[in-house]
Structure 1
Amino acid sequence: MTGLPRTLFMPIRGRLAGYGVAIALFLLGFGVRYAFDPMFPPGFPFLTFFPVVILSTFLAGRGPGVLCGVLSGFAALYFFIPPKHTFLIDGQRATAMGFYAFVVVVDVLLIDGLMKRQRQLEESEARLAAMGDYQALLFKELQHRVANNLASVASMLRLKRRQIERDPSLALEMIDRADARIELMGRIHRQLYDPLARELSVREQIEQVVLQTREVTARGPVSCDIRIAPIKLETGRLMTLVLLISEILTNSFKHAFDGHEDARVLVELADDAQGNLRLTVADNGRGLGEAPVGAAARGLGTAIIRGFVSQLNGRMTVDGDGGVTTVVTFSAG
């Protein structure tokens, strides 16, 4: 049945049109039966009514089919079942009408079930087609993103190599930090390209990334305040955005809170009247005025952040007084 075109099933849409078709088909069946009554042998009062009931159900649905069946039954009882021209019910007439009602109910229910099954199959095919298109698009996007992120990893490793060349004692620390960044990037890829992630909102996606970043990079307890406007982003821009958020938070978690009590970060994504999005990531740590030990890595983090901001075609400002507040403004499209 999946190969049948939809127009074979309920091409008549609308209650008024459907019941109008049912009445018209009843009149057609009655007219044919009445005109050829002398030619039919006794015992076939419903001969032309069964086809029009079936046709009404196919064309307009269960309700019109039932209406056509009821009208046909009364017409057959009055005009074609002896004694004619009366609605009197005796044993033989009751038997005939009971048989007719049984056949009509079975026909209508079978056809209605068939049409419902057909609609379910069409809806399933549409969902499968949409999912196939989405998977193909997702695969292309994944290839593109993996290539870009591998290039980012390669650039990051080259920067770390230069730092190690200047100070070989930083080698193990640099490798550990690179490993943490690559692990986190892998987690984010798996999260965003999981088919089930289509059901998650942008807020839920970002919330998961914030918690994962804290789990991988935070050196102590940090509370996270997450405020995300109800917006939608295509997967590519969302990937860049969450990687940007993760990198900014990585800098905060690693460098802002050594021994700091009541460590807090804010992640806020809001839209403005001009159709732009504004990302704010703020911590209440030491700020930029006090450079922590080993802060050379912060320069690498800043380079990575600027790269993600560039991918979003955004603008970034950083305020280092009383903690670090990073604001990135970019287009939603």
Structure 2
Amino acid sequence: MVHPEESRARDPLIERMPVARDRPGIAIGIVAALVLSALFLRFAVDQGLPSGFPYVTFFPAVILSSFLLGVRWGSLVAVICGLLSWYFFIPPLDSFALQSGGMIALGFYIFVVATDIAIIHWMQLANAKLRHEREVSRQLALTRELLFRELQHRVSNNLQVAAGLLSLQKRQVRDETGRAALDEASRRLGLIGRISRQLYDAAGATRSMGEFLQPLCADVVEASGRTGIRCTIEVADDTPLNADAAVPLALIVAESMANAIEHGFRDRDAGHIEVHLARDGEDLVKVEVRDDGHGLPEGFSIEASDSLGLRIATMLAEQLNGRFDLVGGKGTTARLVLPA
């Protein structure tokens, strides 16, 4: 976060032009060059101009000085140029005497240069305000990103802590069924914690399904401890990930992969799992987890199975208004069909 004193010091609305503020010598040099150039140019074109144009070369000097150096220096140049024009080019020449026509010309000059200086000043204020607002927006966006990352990190850490507590509690449970249940609960909590880190990118935008599934599958294989298992992702038609469906989708894919590793590759050190994502018609998305393992046993049915993971996958699919099936054959295919 930017300190308030630092923010005020950098506020473009209260800053002056660097040359005028920090190097007045350079500003004086610029003013002198603009005034003398305007005066010499006016003398050079004097013979070719009709009467009534005493200020024609002085207006650019006023505009440039106001734009480059600010209102104060522009006003000073306007006064100097006005006096020079009055003395040298408004009759009676070489005099500050003023006739009625000269008064009208001088009034016209004052009106024009005052309008020019005011317009340039307002434009500079508007540009400074715009730069200031852009800087504030940039700081807010940076702060939002930092807070989002911190929140994402804390949620994930809290889930990982809960998973660790369950693992510690398992040591006090002697029943094998209870220990296995605590192991599964700890694994699922740890998985949800990792999912929360992967759900959004650094800018806070949701990822596509293909981007989301790649690290998820790598995590599941790594957590299994089976170094011979290979997992590949094939995305035929990617689609943006619905944030509300991310965790259920990830759990279904993770349960399907865990089921393949535990049962499909039973008594095997190596195997291949393929996660395939594609559209199924106009309104559906199909995610398939295919393995080259042992396949389903004869007469297998999800409804009759006592696998908690498969029951969870079926329930989560129903919550997403989709369906989850296991298809036998050469290996096993876990198929999830969801509304697009």
User: In which range does the TM-score fall when normalised by the shorter chain?
Assistant: 0.5 to 0.7
- Which residue does 2:295 correspond to in 1? 287
* Offset of residue 290 of structure 1: 6.8
Aligned to 1:180: 187
Q: Could you say which residue in structure 1 is the equivalent of 2:335?
A: 327
Call closer, same or farther: CA 1:314–1:35 in 2, change over 3 Å.
farther
Kindly tell me: are residues 230 and 54 of structure 1, through their superposed partners in 2, closer, same or farther at Cα, counting changes over 3 Å? farther
Distance 2:65 2:245 in 1: 54
CA contact (8 A) 1:314 1:330 kept: yes
Residues 54 and 264 of structure 1, relative CA distance in 2, 3 Å threshold = farther
How far apart are residue 135 of structure 1 and its match?
9.1
Bigger radius of gyration: 2
2: CA distance, partners of 1:305 / 1:221: 25
The offset of 1:326, in angstroms, is 1.6
Q: Distance in 2 between the 1:282 and 1:289 partners?
A: 16
Deviation at 1:231, TM superposition (A): 2.2
Query: Of the candidates 233, 248, 251, which is equivalent to residue 226 of structure 1?
Result: 233
Aligned length: 232
For the residue of structure 2 that corresponds to 1:328, the secondary structure is: strand
Q: Deviations over 1:124-175 (max 9, x none)?
A: 54456667788999999999x99xx9xxx9xxx9xxxxxxxxx944222332
Q: 1:55 to 1:243 in 2, by over 3 A?
A: farther
With over 3 angstroms needed to count, the CA separation of the structure-2 counterparts of 1:120 and 1:302, relative to structure 1, is: farther
Q: Which moved further from structure 2: 254-263 or 191-200?
A: 191-200
1:214 aligns with 2:221: yes
Aligned pairs for 1:13-162 (under 5 A) are 35=52, 37=54, 45-46=57-58, 48-53=59-64, 121-126=132-137
User: Helix, strand or coil: the match of 1:250?
Assistant: helix
Query: What stretches of structure 2 of length at least 5 have no aligned partner?
Result: 1-9, 14-41, 43-50, 69-80, 90-121, 167-173
Contact 1:226 1:268 in 2 (8 A): yes
1:316 is the counterpart of 2:327: no
Equivalent position of 2:75 in the other structure: none
Residues 117-126 or 187-196, more deviating:
117-126
Q: What TM-score do you get using the length of structure 1 for normalisation?
A: 0.52
Distance 1:221 1:297 in 2: 28
TM-score between both structures, scaled by the size of structure 2:
0.51
Counterpart of 2:101 in structure 1 is none
Alignment correspondent of 2:264: 256
Range 115-124 or range 305-314, more displaced: 115-124
One-letter identity of the residue aligned with 2:216: V
Structure 1: distance between partners of 2:255 and 2:241: 19
- Whether the aligned pair in 1 keeps the contact of 2:217 and 2:254 (CA below 8 Å) is yes
Quickly say closer, same or farther: Cα 1:120–1:191, change in 2 above 3 A: farther
Conserved 8 A contact 1:184-1:216 = no
Q: After superposing the two structures, state which structure 1 stretch, 206-215 or 190-199, moved more.
A: 190-199
Q: Which residue pairs with 2:312 in the alignment?
A: 304
| CA distance in structure 2 between the partners assigned to 1:139 and 1:234 by the alignment | 22
Identity of aligned residues (%): 25
Distance 1:283 1:302, change over 3 A: same
AA paired with 1:319?
V
